Structure 1
Amino acid sequence: MPNKQVILVVFLLAFCLSTFAQEDKKKDKKKNENNIPTEELVVEAGSIIQDPIDPLAPARAAFYSAVLPGLGQAYNKKYWKIPIVYAGLGVSVYFYINNNNEYHRYRDAYKRRLAGFEDDEFFGTVTTSGLREAQKTYSRNREISLLVTIGIYALNIIDANVDAHLLQYNVDDKLSLRPHYKINEMDNVGDLGLTLNYKF
């Protein structure tokens, strides 16, 4: 069984690396009508030529982050987020392991007390009811740590997906969203809102 898991992980990593290589080749081949690489932003007569929108980029970034946390951030070229992802996962996993170990320490001592032994490490300092309460506390903390770990892993995937969407956000001068404030002359009350403008 462990051999199958190792083969699966190696296959997934090879697939991800081959996908990266194919993406680089596609970007090199893409040229616009004037033979200018589409990766560059070129200003011509007040308009901006942008990269073509890749609708699969957000899904691809989310998939990479699901396979290996931080890989989607690397795909989006947001390398500074990778240490944050691993720091969050590392801290939450550390607390999960610590709470799990403490839970088993108190549980073993509690079981020995119930069996009639009085040689556990907490004898004389912690009562039997105290051992039971400590088990409940560490069990709850362990579950919270597990939920936090799962939450950080999910946030890593969501962040990669949303970031890939935002990288393709239209920043053309023709499209603008501006706040506005206007005094209503009828009842002398200020109106606050957002105005969406598109120039043809």
Structure 2
Amino acid sequence: MQSNKYLLLVFLLCFYAFAKAQQDAPAETIIDADEVAGVSSKEPYDPLRPAKAAFYGAVLPGLGQIYNKDYWKLPLVYGALGSTIYGVSFNGNRSERFRTAFKDRLAGRLDEFTRINEDGTTTEIFSDDALINGQDQFRRRRDLFILVSAGVYILQIIEANVDAHLSQYDVDDDLTFGPALYFDDLGQTMNYGLSFNYKF
């Protein structure tokens, strides 16, 4: 008997809460459909955005990344370009030093790789063949660093263009793909899988 009273009390409370929820809204909170403007959190699609990002990246390295608001990529762009340009400069200077030394030696002048001993004799640190090989080796490295610098420059333009394309890609929740876990009551086991959902 006591439990029936509690059950009736719970039923009446639920009925009262449901009835309260069904009350008509006050007149000031009702909005006509004409007054509601379409509000979208998405930016409108700009078909020229990738071209602008690529153009800015071509004008000044890193400017395409700034246009895309990817500021964290600037140290990567300038670090890669700076290191390759340093490689061009370092190897170019070394190649020029070996070339100048070889030309001085051919002209009979004292070069930077020849040392004068205390007794007045000279000692060559590098032979003529070593000077030629060093000049060629550092020139090849310089040329390689020039190609790598051009590659980094082109790569940052392509990255800005692709990032601008992908930043406008529609990734709403209508299409989802993810892991699925469910418990099988019959076999008392946990099943794992992938779930692919599309909402209309």
Which TM-score band applies after superposition, normalised by the shorter structure? 0.5 to 0.7
1:169 counterpart = 2:169: yes
1:122 counterpart residue number: 113
1:34 counterpart residue number: 37
2:199 counterpart residue number: 199
Q: Secondary structure at the match of 1:156?
A: helix
1:96 counterpart = 2:96: no
TM-score of the two chains, using structure 2 as the length reference: 0.65
Read off the aligned partner of 1:113 and give its amino acid letter.
Answer: R
Q: Secondary structure at the match of 1:88?
A: helix
Q: Distance in 1 between matches of 2:195 and 2:143?
A: 47
Q: Secondary structure at the match of 1:176?
A: strand
Read off the aligned partner of 2:58 and give its amino acid letter.
Answer: A
**CA-to-partner distance for each residue in 1:2-34, whole Å, 9 max, x for gaps?**
xxxxxxxxxxxxxxxxxxxxxxxxxxxxxxx71
1:152 counterpart residue number: 152
Q: Distance in 1 between matches of 2:87 and 2:197?
A: 50
Q: Secondary structure at the match of 1:134?
A: helix
1:57 counterpart = 2:60: no
2:59 counterpart residue number: 67
Q: Distance in 2 between matches of 1:110 and 1:96?
A: 21
RMSD of aligned C-alpha atoms? Answer: 2.2
2:131 counterpart residue number: 131
Measure how far apart 1:199 and its partner are: 3.3
Q: Secondary structure at the match of 1:120?
A: coil
- Give the number of the structure whose alpha-carbon radius of gyration is greater: 2
Cα 1:148–1:195, aligned 2, differ >3 Å: closer, same or farther? Answer: farther
Identical columns (%): 50
Q: Distance in 2 between matches of 1:144 and 1:195?
A: 48
Which ranges of structure 1 fall in alignment gaps of 5 or more residues? 1-32, 42-49, 181-193
Q: Secondary structure at the match of 1:55?
A: coil
Segments ≥4 residues shifted beyond 6 Å: none
Q: Distance in 2 between matches of 1:98 and 1:34?
A: 62
Q: Distance in 1 between matches of 2:152 and 2:111?
A: 37
